[in-house]
Amino acid sequence: DAGVTQSPTHLIKTRGQHVTLRCSPISGHKSVSWYQQVLGQGPQFIFQYYEKEERGRGNFPDRFSARQFPNYSSELNVNALLLGDSALYLCASSRPGTSGGLYEQYFGPGTRLTVT
Amino acid sequence: AQKITQTQPGMFVQEKEAVTLDCTYDTSDPSYGLFWYKQPSSGEMIFLIYQGSYDQQNATEGRYSLNFQKARKSANLVISASQLGDSAMYFCAIPALSSGSARQLTFGSGTQLTVLP
């Protein structure tokens, strides 16, 4: 079975631009979470979606938004890019169950965003 | 507030020896779980092991085991018989406060493990 896939792999944008990152979860997984990992730090939680509804949001500005589609894939959008948005953006999915629960997540390879 | 602390930015271990990676946590959630993930240079986070706060016995998964001490709020990862492929960043994580969900994790800053031949 295919794992979590993310596109694009790498991306270079200019300050002030907008970016859309995409994630396809493992088949059958209904929950998708997004994380930002700045170089040298651990990942920081941005959003979680379950059954197309937002179930959690981390401490990120409104420039960050996301959505989940009927096929459970997800997009992360970032507006008005800042240099500090340069990071590895990780998507994770987890197996079916309630929206909570202590299930391990399966991560994708990430999208490395560079803002110049 | 909730905090995960990994005090070892870098660790070295000789191949075939055991190594312990430290993790301490602070959470006011009465029920929580502790996760360890491995991140190779490729960037993908790989789940290693999990233990719930009410589990009586320390978790074990192959060469990985958790030394979970609730009173000290520590959950150290022990890797036995280290292999060269174990060289990677290792992260400790806990569900975000009040989320009760492993799908909203708070991660530590990580430990870079290097296995020497």
% of residues, chain B, pLDDT over 90 = 62
Nearest CA-CA partner of B3 in B97, B114, B101, B116: B97
Q: In Å, how far are A3, A6, A39, A54, B78 from A65, measured between CA atoms?
A: 24, 17, 22, 10, 38
Residue A99: pLDDT over 50? no
Residue B96 is predicted with a pLDDT of: 74
Neighbours of B85 (CB within 10 A): 9
Q: What tens digit of pLDDT does each residue of B46-99 get?
A: 999 988 888 888 889 999 999 999 889 999 999 999 999 999 999 999 887 655
Residue A100: pLDDT over 50? no
Least confident of A87-91, A95-99, B9-13: A95-99
At B1, the pLDDT band (50, 70, 90 cuts) reads low
Residue B2 is predicted with a pLDDT of: 79
Q: How far is B109 from chain A (nearest CA, A)?
A: 5
Contact status of A62 with chain B (Cβ, < 8 Å): no
Helix (H, G, I), strand (E, B) or coil at B29: coil
Mean pLDDT estimate for chain A = 91
Contact status of A53 with chain B (Cβ, < 8 Å): no
Residue A50 is predicted with a pLDDT of: 86
Flag if A108 and B109 touch (Cβ within 8 Å): no
**Candidates B7, B61, B103, partner chain A, best to mutate (most A CBs within 10 A):** B103
Flag if B45 and A92 touch (Cβ within 8 Å): yes
Flag if A104 and B102 touch (Cβ within 8 Å): yes
* DSSP letter for each residue of chain A: ----EEE-SEEEE-TT--EEEEEEPPTT--EEEEEEE-TTS--EEEEEEETTEEEEE-S--TTEEEEE-TTS-EEEEE-S--GGG-EEEEEEEE-SS-SSB----EE---EEEEE-
CA dist., res. B76 & res. B66, Å (int): 6
Tokens encoding A85: 């948005």
Q: Are B74 and B59 in contact (CB under 8 A)?
A: no
Average pLDDT over residues A76-105: 83
Q: Nearest residue of B to residue A109 by CA position?
A: B44
At A9, the pLDDT band (50, 70, 90 cuts) reads very high
Contact status of A22 with chain B (Cβ, < 8 Å): no
Flag if B101 and A92 touch (Cβ within 8 Å): no
Flag if A103 and B45 touch (Cβ within 8 Å): no
Residue A75: pLDDT over 50? yes
Flag if B43 and A106 touch (Cβ within 8 Å): no
% of residues, chain B, pLDDT over 70 = 92
Tokens encoding A55: 């179930």
Residue A21 is predicted with a pLDDT of: 98
Q: What tens digit of pLDDT does each residue of A15-44 get?
A: 999 999 999 999 988 889 999 999 999 999
Residues from chain A that touch B64, judged by Cβ atoms under 8 A, are none
Tokens encoding A67: 């959505």
**Of all helices (H) and strands (E), which one includes residue B4?**
strand B3-5
At A51, the pLDDT band (50, 70, 90 cuts) reads confident
Residues from chain A that touch B96, judged by Cβ atoms under 8 A, are 45, 56, 58
Average pLDDT over residues B40-51: 90
The size of chain A, in residues, is: 116
Q: B81: left (phi > 0), else alpha (psi -120 to 50), else beta?
A: left
